[in-house]
Amino acid sequence: MQRPDDIVRLTTAASEFEAQLMVNKLEDAGIKASSETQAGNVLQWEVMATQPFRVFVRREDVERAREVLVSEKVVSASIDWDSIDVGASEDSPDGESGGLRVLGVAVVIIVLAIVAVFLATR
């Protein structure tokens, strides 16, 4: 016998991130939802290919949940991303980007570690 409060699979997602976005959107609309992500975290290389992440809701909420997700896709698809100004990337004052600075620090640390190991073995 099917009960309205039974938990049923609503849809699947390609990633844990996508599933969590769906759950958040459903909960924002007042629909209790959850996603099954544990297996994906443990065996990600196998699960991604064979078992997508699942999003669950109560049976009585299935139709409304589908409507929420469909309307969200329509809203996100209607955004004109060419009109969005994300601004220029921020460089450090000396013109060196943050990524290059981190890389430079990493190289210095590696060189110092190699020198320390060399000195310790002498």
Annotate 21-35 with DSSP letters as a single string.
HHHHHHHHTT--EEE
**Residues 16 and 39 sit within 8 Å (Cβ to Cβ):** no
Is the predicted pLDDT of residue 68 greater than 80, yes or no?
A: yes
Is the predicted pLDDT of residue 76 greater than 80, yes or no?
A: no
pLDDT in tens, 11-25: 988 888 888 999 999
pLDDT reported for residue 117: 87
Q: Which domains does the chain have, with CATH numbers?
A: 7-78 (3.30.70)
More confident residue, 88 or 96: 88
pTM listed for this prediction? 0.54
